[in-house]
Amino acid sequence: MIADSTIPDEEKPCVVLTTHSMEECEALCSRIGIMAHGKLRCLGSAQHLKTKFGRGYQLEMKVRIPMIDDADCRQILSSIGRQKQGTTDAAIASQPDGIFFNFQECRSAFQSLTSDDSLSSQIAADNGQGGSILFRDASSLTGASLVQLAHFATSQLRVQRLDQFIMKKYPKAVLRERQDAKVRYEVSSEGLSIANIFETVEANKDGLGVAEYSVSQTSLEEIFNFHAAQAEALKPEHP
């Protein structure tokens, strides 16, 4: 790279790199142009593109995996266990993995726990957040164990509590992705800095049961996909 300040700007050489790797662009390029359908859609530094086209901050959070000795998990285990007819407190305390619930008993126990169907409705064959496994076991001849129900309910309620907190703190936030106990929100950057979000999460992470979290700007990959999708939508249809 030539760094001689005596060379006029119009005579300074440049290198043009063509790539689909946004990570490569961000690491090597001082200016980045994004093309879609043969047209240059934007041009500028990585930070300029993020500031102009970014859709806020990406907040990723993961709640702790429930352990049987956790206070909330123990309370939920006891509450669900008492819904099983003929089950004693002694049995719940000493042999929770030996108490089983069929499908209907699972639904009834969850409805009693939450006073609505927010949990019971998740026991479904097409639920991708662990509900399909619970549906399979609850529908089997043996049924689902009390420990399994307690772990599932605790994890789901922790995520629900986290979601309620985020939506109350950032009303314009959008849940973009969820995988079991991990969620990703898009939080508006209007009047808000990354430092503000870090401060809020750090102050509340223990009470919310957050195991890990990260905050970042919209990535160049997401900006590239945005322009590609926009160009695709504007492309004229051929008969």
Summarised one tens digit per residue, pLDDT across range 59-90 is 999 999 999 999 999 999 999 999 998 889 99
The pLDDT tens digits of the residues spanning 210-237 come to 999 999 877 777 778 777 887 777 776 6
pTM value is 0.73
| Residue 239: pLDDT band with limits 50, 70, 90 | low
Sign of CA dihedral 20, 26, 27, 32: positive
The pLDDT tens digits of the residues spanning 158-212 come to 999 999 999 999 998 989 889 889 999 989 878 888 899 999 999 999 999 999 9
Beta bridge partners of 174: 186
Whole-number pLDDT of residue 164: 95
Whole-number pLDDT of residue 190: 80
Alpha helices, DSSP H only, in 82-219? 89-94, 103-114, 131-138, 146-169, 194-208
- Which run of H or of E encompasses 74? helix 71-81
Q: At 38, give phi and psi (nearest 5°).
A: 80, 5
Long-range contacts of 125-133 (CB under 8 A, 24+ apart): 129/156, 129/178, 129/179, 129/180, 130/155, 130/156, 130/180
Phi-psi region of 150 (alpha: psi -120 to 50; beta: other; left: phi over 0): alpha
Whole-number pLDDT of residue 1: 38
Residue type, 147: V
| Residue 5: pLDDT band with limits 50, 70, 90 | low
